Structure 1
């Protein structure tokens, strides 16, 4: 298996720069999560990766070979928008797409049977796609990306609209493909899933890659900066105007606190105990959502409520 290399992509739409020298590599057997806000450049990147769009400059390579039509034919692509024939039955559609990718009629039929069973949509094989729920249409779309046994997977928002069981089924498929050496690249706004599934993550903002690495690597510069506290009975303004606290961010069930320079967790604990009963205190490991906010939001001071 060969890596998928995104090398210095530039794409403009009029005066707007959609991609600004964007580069990263997805290694064989790696699940790479590609995250960013709306309009950050995720879909443009994925479309260029599979040959749907052309960059203004830069190149996509599969190993050492620039991706052209023969290479892209070995990719499995799942667009964010429905790319299915709505009136065609699931079975006929998947067989047809398998044949387009060079499978024999028998191979295409066997692959359709295998993937509809694996994704728990076998009972829908003889139904037109537009009669299915959005979640089941999403499963069919994944089957369409997998039917020809691709060597690279490129998926745009594959978990959108799926229930938890479907998320588990799709996650298992992506892990299995990666275990067989396939580079897996997918975008998602569901950062908890990205955090759970991915070996590495790339964060794109305004067409630029602002961070790339494993979750541990992304956390390293930001680790152990904040304490998470649950304090019963504390007044609503706490911990504003607390000398031991440099900044804070309320959470659903507590508050994240950054100790002031020269202050320790003991100083924060002592201040908290003066305002209520401390039920929990621990150093906070930032989630991918926390890291994403830090990377793409302008720095700003926390202000008292």
Structure 2
């Protein structure tokens, strides 16, 4: 295991920002830390980076207290952006890499590769202030890992990116993982967490509501999401045993069941010798689970 957070608490006078938080991130893993604004995510990141001390508990990397490791092992993309407006793109990347102890010669191959990988070749000599918000985000992202850190923290990395650039970023994150980088990231876009992470921690007001496998979290709810296309009315579906809620989509119904065991009876009732265009039973999405656990929404 690479990073271990054990019973970590952070208090500010009478306010507890993080309360007895524990989770483990394995080497080479992408791990999601999710929660509403103010849940304690950024505070946790800052304690890992040793920018703030823990009130209680320990944080270790490879068995060594996080305070005692070589800081160049870490990379960090903060939610608040911070590149230099008047500095050229490639100069930014060399600058941040040299701050982390790399020589210009060592950095050249990485700078050239990632500028090309993020489709910034024509912006290489451009000042950051002339770039679009999305391109500025790409530059800052590259700057966070240009020194090839062993552990990388990404706080809202998809902010300001269009769908094409989001896919580009996801590909880069997976590439870093394949190269052995351990990644901890936060995003309010649950589909990104669901797509990239095998494990996660769900925070609410500094308290962990769940830490572990995404699949195990889904199994807690069971396969209770039933999507169907039928000529039956919403009222008829709502009256069926085991149906808690019915959401009317554009061309389909999405039913929330009390238990997946009711699906067979619903299928038999709907089928009755008729053609069924769609009948799909699945786990809830992470977004739906998040709303239930954090927002108290019914799912």
* TM-score, scaled to structure 1: 0.87
Task: Report the counterpart of residue 262 of structure 2 in structure 1.
Answer: 264
With over 3 angstroms needed to count, the CA separation of the structure-2 counterparts of 1:299 and 1:88, relative to structure 1, is closer
Q: Do 1:33 and 1:194's aligned partners in 2 also have CA atoms closer than 8 Å? A: yes
CA shift for structure 1 position 231 = 3.0
CA shift for structure 1 position 246 = 4.6
DSSP 3-state at the match of 2:70:
helix
With over 3 angstroms needed to count, the CA separation of the structure-2 counterparts of 1:244 and 1:27, relative to structure 1, is same
Give runs of aligned pairs for residues 222-241 of structure 1, distance below 5 A.
Answer: 222-232=221-231, 234-235=233-234, 237-240=235-238
Q: Do 1:226 and 1:259's aligned partners in 2 also have CA atoms closer than 8 Å? A: no
Task: Report the counterpart of residue 129 of structure 2 in structure 1.
Answer: 130
**Partners of 2:225 and 2:164 in 1: how far apart?**
34
DSSP 3-state at the match of 1:44:
helix
Task: Report the counterpart of residue 56 of structure 1 in structure 2.
Answer: 55
CA shift for structure 1 position 152 = 0.7
Task: Report the counterpart of residue 283 of structure 2 in structure 1.
Answer: 285
- 1:201 aligns to 2:200 (yes or no): yes
CA shift for structure 1 position 20 = 0.5
Give runs of aligned pairs for residues 89-128 of structure 1, distance below 5 A.
Answer: 89-128=88-127
CA shift for structure 1 position 270 = 6.0
Task: Report the counterpart of residue 153 of structure 1 in structure 2.
Answer: 152
**Partners of 2:290 and 2:94 in 1: how far apart?**
40
With over 3 angstroms needed to count, the CA separation of the structure-2 counterparts of 1:70 and 1:273, relative to structure 1, is closer
Give runs of aligned pairs for residues 70-81 of structure 1, distance below 5 A.
Answer: 70-81=69-80
With over 3 angstroms needed to count, the CA separation of the structure-2 counterparts of 1:114 and 1:227, relative to structure 1, is closer
Q: Do 1:35 and 1:201's aligned partners in 2 also have CA atoms closer than 8 Å? A: yes
From 290, 294, 297, give the equivalent of 1:296. 294
* TM-score, scaled to structure 2: 0.88
**Partners of 1:299 and 1:7 in 2: how far apart?**
30
Q: Structure 1 residues 276-285 or 193-202, which shifts more?
A: 276-285
Extract structure 1 runs of 4+ deviating beyond 4 A: 269-274, 276-279
CA shift for structure 1 position 133 = 0.8
**Partners of 1:168 and 1:299 in 2: how far apart?**
30
**Bigger helix share:** 2
**Partners of 1:221 and 1:98 in 2: how far apart?**
44
CA shift for structure 1 position 269 = 4.2
**Partners of 2:83 and 2:72 in 1: how far apart?**
17
5+ residue gaps, structure 2, are: none
Q: Structure 1 residues 77-86 or 216-225, which shifts more?
A: 216-225
- Over the aligned positions, Cα root-mean-square deviation in angstroms equals 2.6
Q: Do 1:28 and 1:178's aligned partners in 2 also have CA atoms closer than 8 Å? A: no
With over 3 angstroms needed to count, the CA separation of the structure-2 counterparts of 1:13 and 1:251, relative to structure 1, is farther
With over 3 angstroms needed to count, the CA separation of the structure-2 counterparts of 1:228 and 1:83, relative to structure 1, is same
Q: Do 2:226 and 2:255's aligned partners in 1 also have CA atoms closer than 8 Å? A: yes
**Partners of 2:258 and 2:9 in 1: how far apart?**
41
With over 3 angstroms needed to count, the CA separation of the structure-2 counterparts of 1:31 and 1:260, relative to structure 1, is closer
5+ residue gaps, structure 1, are: none
Q: Structure 1 residues 206-215 or 148-157, which shifts more?
A: 206-215
Task: Report the counterpart of residue 21 of structure 1 in structure 2.
Answer: 20
Aligned residues: 296
